[in-house]
Chain A
Amino acid sequence: MLVATASIFIVQAKAQVIVIANPGVKASDVSKSDLKDVFTGAATSLKDGSGVVPILLKAGTVHEEFLQAYIGKNDTAYRAGWRSLVFSGQGSMPKSLDGDTDVVEFVAHHSGAIGYIGKATPHDGVKVLTVK
């Protein structure tokens, strides 16, 4: 019973978050491992060669759900990973925005940008990537 409840919760969590990208990004879908690599700084392109730049939310439910569902870490552990890259000269911290609408606005106008928002947020001007 507990396992079933937990599974339903995870499915619901994933369902509340969608991954969006600038319309210039060629891919229409993305694998979970590709998504994890891009958002942890391990990769700067998708499997099809599309160069992408991750955009984060600063905090909030959507941010936490995205990290749990696709990165497998909480916010503290996730940002610790980026600090390792930033302070060892291997990367720059991704841009963090305040809210979903800010992410939509930024992704729509910046080539290669990829982000995540709540499913209910209007997202005209961006493409939605299916996570496989």
Chain B
Amino acid sequence: MDGGLPPINHERTETEETLSQRMWLAGQAGDAPARFARDRLISKCTEREWPSAIQFQLRRLMMRRLLVGALAFALGAIPVTAQSLEDLNIQIHGYATQGFVYSTHNNWDTLNSSDGSPSWTEAVVNVTAQPQPKLRVGVQARYFLLGGFGNTVSLDWANADYKFNEKFGVRFGKVKTPEGMFNMTQDIDPAMIWSILPQSIYPVATRTSILSHLGGVVYGTLRLPAKAGTLGYQGWAGERIVAANDPLLEAFAEGGILFPSGVTGHTDGATLQWHTPLQGLMLGASESSNSNNGPSTLAGMFSGQETSGSFQIPFYFGQYEHGRLTLNSEYMRLPFYWNFNYTNGPVLKVALDFRNWYGMASYRVTNKFAVGSFFDSSINQQAPLGPARFQKNWDISARYDLSSFLYLKAEENLLNGTGGIGVSYYPVNNTGTLNPKSQLTILKVGVSF
């Protein structure tokens, strides 16, 4: 495999570059042996692991209680204001998509895509109630299957939203994280022309873990003086939980690093969107502070703790809409520092520094037919020169709406490079050398109501 795994040397501290290659450049793991190893390690959890593991579970339990409490509070307010079921304004919505993926080289995201694979299914259903104009409560469940990932139903979001006025509102519970231009909406297939957004910033595989957090969001819109447009703001704080079997952590499993309980960490930040006086032009920026911590084991021999410290993720983005044309561009830097301290074992450090950007354009040809294209680039500044340092992608997409509820999508991606944050060439089904260049064809059918 391109950028194959170097052997683990337990006697020394891993260099950043070495482990970087192991985790990301060589590919990401989702294979059954790694899962079996993880399960075995959980069962062999030593006494020294328990304190951190118990603390971890307690924090998770507290956050869940906070979520339940928030929803109970919101639901408890409903009878006070609503007089009938109609007053509750209950709505049920959902969508389902089925994808077919074919790649000329390499297998994409644990699908056997070089043979053509239909193993990409997503389905969502939500229930919301709005007992009074300022209060809305809701819950959304999501089924996700992508090759060897997912095949589970998860709680997408469950929150209460109270909007005091245009300038200030608050949403709390499990909420979508309003980071960057599309983080809150990146998985909403019926709303997009694309089958995949630029993977450098919005990778498909990690949707379940990085789209939401337990905590809250405050939001509002301010009218600027002198006809300078409006300024939308969203600030958030809370805890993000990444499950043990999340694709984000499967990358570490390839290097023998397992997280029996997953990882948690804080996330807080703010996003500003300036809707400028030039009609259709929006400029925005995000900045977030994040961390990831959790009990970890190494190669089935050592146990310890992973701590990332706090790392910042900035986004800068813009959108211009004019008639049927929409232009978007976004830049994001992802500095990534994870430290592993194993009892009587090595100290490992993972340091990555991705610089990602894209430019995209879409055009609605008719009411039913739309086309689009984007160029996407991701470069890991910590990686050595070569195809494993980057990935670039030219995407061409088309969407046809058969009705208000049913649509078809077709998309071609010209991929170059085997590195980058969005590259999903996993060792489990990429046993040979990766080809730096590959074409990825995606066909999708979706229904929404």
Partner-B contacts on A (CB < 8 A): 42-45, 47, 51, 53, 72, 74-77, 79-81, 83-84, 86-93, 112
Flag if A92 contacts B130 (CB, 8 Å). Answer: yes
Flag if A112 contacts B175 (CB, 8 Å). Answer: no
Closest 7 CB pairs of A and B: A84-B191, A83-B191, A88-B184, A74-B367, A80-B191, A84-B185, A87-B188
Nearest-neighbour CB distance to chain B for A76, whole angstroms, equals 5
Nearest-neighbour CB distance to chain B for A45, whole angstroms, equals 6
A44-B163 contact, Cβ under 8 Å, with A75-B367, A76-B401: yes
Q: Which of A43, A72, A81 has the most CB of B within 10 A?
A: A72
Which residues of A lie under 8 Å from residue B176 when comparing CB positions?
88-90
Flag if A83 contacts B190 (CB, 8 Å). Answer: yes
Contact partner of B128 among A53, A75, A92, CB < 8 A?
A: A92
Nearest-neighbour CB distance to chain B for A23, whole angstroms, equals 17
CB-CB nearest in chain B for A79: B404
Flag if B367 contacts A89 (CB, 8 Å). Answer: no
Whether, in the assembled complex, B338 has its beta carbon less than 8 Å from a beta carbon of chain A, the answer is no
Choose, from B50-58, B87-95, B243-251, B348-356, the stretch at the interface: B87-95
Flag if B124 contacts A45 (CB, 8 Å). Answer: no
Which residues of A lie under 8 Å from residue B401 when comparing CB positions?
76
Which residues of B lie under 8 Å from residue A89 when comparing CB positions?
126, 138, 140, 157, 159, 161, 171, 175-176
Count B-side interface residues using an 8 Å CB cutoff: 40
A125 to B303 Cα, complex, angstroms? 73
The DSSP consensus for interface residues of chain B is strand
Contact partner of B364 among A53, A77, A84, A92, CB < 8 A?
A: A77
Nearest-neighbour CB distance to chain B for A49, whole angstroms, equals 8
Quick one: which of B54-92 are within 8 Å of A by CB? Answer: 89, 91
Q: Which of A44, A74, A77 has the most CB of B within 10 A?
A: A77
A72 to B323 Cα, complex, angstroms? 6
A87-B159 contact, Cβ under 8 Å, with A45-B165, A45-B166: no
Which residues of A lie under 8 Å from residue B89 when comparing CB positions?
92
CB-CB nearest in chain A for B232: A42
Flag if B95 contacts A92 (CB, 8 Å). Answer: no
Nearest-neighbour CB distance to chain A for B281, whole angstroms, equals 13
Contact partner of B133 among A44, A77, A80, A87, CB < 8 A?
A: A44
Partner-A contacts on B (CB < 8 A): 89, 91, 93, 95, 124, 126, 128, 130, 133, 136, 138, 140, 157, 159, 161, 163, 165-166, 171, 175-176, 184-185, 188, 190-192, 221, 223, 321, 323-324, 364, 366-368, 370, 401, 404, 448
Nearest-neighbour CB distance to chain B for A124, whole angstroms, equals 24
Q: Which of A43, A72, A81, A90 has the most CB of B within 10 A?
A: A90
Which residues of A lie under 8 Å from residue B128 when comparing CB positions?
86, 92
A44 to B223 Cα, complex, angstroms? 14
17 contacts between A and B (CB under 8 A): A42-B221, A43-B166, A43-B221, A74-B364, A74-B367, A76-B370, A83-B95, A83-B191, A84-B185, A86-B128, A87-B124, A87-B126, A87-B185, A90-B176, A91-B136, A92-B89, A93-B91
Flag if A83 contacts B188 (CB, 8 Å). Answer: yes
Contact partner of A86 among B126, B133, B223, B404, CB < 8 A?
A: B126
A87 to B126 Cα, complex, angstroms? 7
Flag if B124 contacts A76 (CB, 8 Å). Answer: no
16 more contacts with CB within 8 A, not counting A74-B364, A88-B184, are A43-B166, A53-B133, A77-B364, A80-B191, A83-B93, A84-B184, A84-B191, A86-B91, A87-B93, A87-B140, A89-B138, A89-B171, A89-B176, A92-B91, A93-B91, A112-B133
A42 to B231 Cα, complex, angstroms? 12
A53 to B163 Cα, complex, angstroms? 14
